[in-house]
Amino acid sequence: SGPDRVHEVTVTPLDEGVLLAFTDLTEAEEMDRMRRDFVANVSHELRTPLTAISGFIETLRGAAKEDARARERFLAIMAAEAERMNRLVRDLLHLSRVEAEERNRPESRVDIAGIARSVVDSLQPVARAGEVRLNLVGAGQEITLRADPDQMVQVLTNLTENAVKYGSPAGATVTVALGREDGPRGPVLRVSVSDQGAGIDPRHIPRLTERFYRVDSHRSREKGGTGLGLAIVKHIVQRHRGRLVIESELGKGSVFSILLPMP
Ligand code: ADP
């Protein structure tokens, strides 16, 4: 009945049909492999903080029982590890929600300049803490786009946080810039985030938007990264029928731009 019939229909005597059946199978296998990798990665990412927390619980029950200072220190580490798990679960939920909605292009009209102003304002303390100057240009007047406002906040926050986190030694400047351009398929808004950081080796660039891909996983973890930020950005941009462009030069810095179709 059901599944058998589908199989029969797919493998038609036509060359084209057979080819199609093969393609489907390869694609299905590829999807399956990706799903397994993803589950393995998530398990690993969750297990690392869990192992640390369990280890410290044992220590608190044993050797550190009578040592108040050690106890405080271990509790602080446990809190930080629990916080890491929290961030990871939050980002996983964001990612799955964005993926689920990817086919529905947002309908609402939003003022992206206003969003950029509020994101930049709210990240000023983070920038100051890293002694980075955070500038915004091109957001003086309203720029209306068809977009999901929460997701635009998230894209701008992820890119700007990365620019501050990885991009910038003390004294450097991060610039968020908005500007209209003529794209091949009509007018687009370019939103770019430029930093003056270490830059990214070109061989890493095509893989940066993969889930859990990090150039330097130690550094990412130390900075509180989950490895999901750019994957979330990619899916949000796809949902908006836009493009993500990454340019980088080692020793000079990086520019992450999104190009969004104008209404
Ligand atoms: P994470 O949570 O690790 O920050 P992301 O998906 O946001 O995850 O970024 C993936 C990796 O891309 C980071 O771990 C970092 O190695 C690299 N990266 C992202 N933005 C920048 C940047 N502005 N400069 C240098 N490297 C960056």
Does the beta carbon of 225 sit less than 6 angstroms from any atom of ligand 1?
yes
Q: pLDDT class for 5, splitting at 50, 70, 90?
A: very low
Return the ligand 1 atom nearest residue 91 CA: 2
Q: Distance from the CA of 162 to the center of ligand 1, in angstroms?
A: 6
Q: Distance from the CA of 28 to the center of ligand 1, in angstroms?
A: 29
Does the beta carbon of 138 sit less than 6 angstroms from any atom of ligand 1?
no
**DSSP per-residue string spanning 75-125:** HHHHHHHHHHHHHHHHHHHHHHHHHHHTTS----EEEHHHHHHHHHHHHHH
Q: Distance from the CA of 214 to the center of ligand 1, in angstroms?
A: 6
Q: Distance from the CA of 209 to the center of ligand 1, in angstroms?
A: 9
pLDDT above 70: residue 8: no
Q: Could you report the per-residue pLDDT of 224-236, keeping only the tens digit for each?
A: 889 999 999 999 9
Q: Distance from the CA of 166 to the center of ligand 1, in angstroms?
A: 7
Per-residue pLDDT, 22: 56
Per-residue pLDDT, 1: 36
Residue minimizing CA distance to atom 7 of ligand 1:
229
For the chain, what is the mean pLDDT? 88
Q: pLDDT class for 79, splitting at 50, 70, 90?
A: very high
Return the ligand 1 atom nearest residue 159 CA: 20
Return the ligand 1 atom nearest residue 217 CA: 14
Q: Which of 260, 263, 238 is nearest to 183 (CA)?
A: 260
Residue minimizing CA distance to atom 2 of ligand 1:
225
Q: What percent of the chain has pLDDT over 70?
A: 90
Q: Could you report the per-residue pLDDT of 184-243, keeping only the tens digit for each?
A: 889 999 999 999 998 999 899 999 999 999 998 888 888 888 999 999 999 999 999 999
Does the beta carbon of 159 sit less than 6 angstroms from any atom of ligand 1?
no
Return the ligand 1 atom nearest residue 220 CA: 3
CB atoms within 10 A of CB 261: 18
Per-residue pLDDT, 247: 93
State the Cα–Cα distance between residues 238 and 246, nearest whole angstrom: 15
Q: pLDDT class for 24, splitting at 50, 70, 90?
A: low
Task: Give 60-69's long-range contacts (Cβ < 8 A, gap of 24+).
Answer: none
Query: Can you tell me the mean pLDDT for 93-98?
Result: 94
Cβ distance 163 to 135 under 8 Å?
Answer: no
pTM value is: 0.86
Does the beta carbon of 168 sit less than 6 angstroms from any atom of ligand 1?
no
Does the beta carbon of 227 sit less than 6 angstroms from any atom of ligand 1?
yes
Cα torsion 254, 255, 258, 259: sign:
negative
